[in-house]
């Protein structure tokens, strides 16, 4: 089963992705984690993306798409993909559609965790203390939210007419969201 978790930064995509990975023996495709790892390991990619990441800006599509492509074509991960943070633009959504088609896969479920701006700001301020992410400062959070509204939210139009698209109130508690996801995937 391949699943996309969609929503603004701080919606809880990562938390639910980790749950689904355990439940379905899946593989979490968190582009944010993959990119942070490149920075941590100080790779050539890491050096190229560090400024954009710290600034809350998108990393260039070529870099993100090539990292994604490797994962999608990895036979050990086929039909086990739990996307968290990808796609983030219409062009990424089109790229994903092509890659899945070319690897004989499809998206089984799309869960949109919908959360408003004030809840996001409160949650990310908390996460800043716990995870110490350099892009969780208030001005960067606000920038990331604006980028979400301008570039990522339009991706909803790409998916929301599909019968496997489900909107969930992302302001609910973690286990309430998990229960809703569980109910949909057993349908």
- Binding residues for ligand AMP, per CB under 6 A? 9, 31-32, 35, 52-53, 56-59, 64, 85-86, 88, 92, 135, 144
- N-to-C CA span, the chain: 13
Contact 105, 72 (CB under 8 A): yes
Give the nearest distance from C-beta 186 to ligand AMP in angstroms.
Answer: 27
Q: Which residue is nearest to ligand AMP (CB)?
A: 32
R_g over Cα of the chain: 16
Give the nearest distance from C-beta 87 to ligand AMP in angstroms.
Answer: 6
Using the minimum distance from each CB to ligand AMP, give the nearer residue, 103 or 134: 134
Using the minimum distance from each CB to ligand AMP, give the nearer residue, 9 or 170: 9
- Nearest alpha-carbon partner for 137 in 149, 156, 121: 121
Q: How many angstroms separate the CA atoms of 83 and 68, rounded?
A: 10
Using the minimum distance from each CB to ligand AMP, give the nearer residue, 34 or 168: 34
């Amino acid at each position: 089963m391949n699943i996309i978790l969609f929503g603004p930064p701080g919606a809880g995509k990562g938390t639910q992705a980790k749950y689904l990975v355990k439940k379905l023996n899946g593989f979490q495709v968190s582009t944010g984690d993959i990119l942070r790892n490149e920075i941590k390991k100080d790779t050539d990619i890491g050096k190229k993306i560090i400024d954009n990441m710290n600034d809350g800006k998108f990393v260039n599509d070529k870099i993100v798409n090539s990292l994604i492509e490797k994962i999608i074509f990895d036979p050990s991960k086929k039909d086990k993909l739990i996307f968290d943070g990808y796609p983030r633009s219409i062009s990424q959504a089109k790229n994903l559609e092509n890659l899945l088609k070319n690897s004989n896969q499809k998206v089984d479920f799309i869960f949109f965790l919908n959360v408003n701006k004030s809840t996001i700001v409160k949650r990310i301020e908390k996460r800043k203390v716990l995870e110490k992410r350099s892009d969780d400062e208030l001005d960067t959070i606000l920038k990331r939210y604006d980028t979400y509204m301008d570039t990522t939210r339009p991706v909803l139009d790409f998916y929301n007419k599909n019968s496997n698209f489900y909107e969930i109130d992302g302001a609910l508690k973690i286990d309430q969201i998990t229960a809703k996801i569980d109910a949909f995937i057993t349908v």
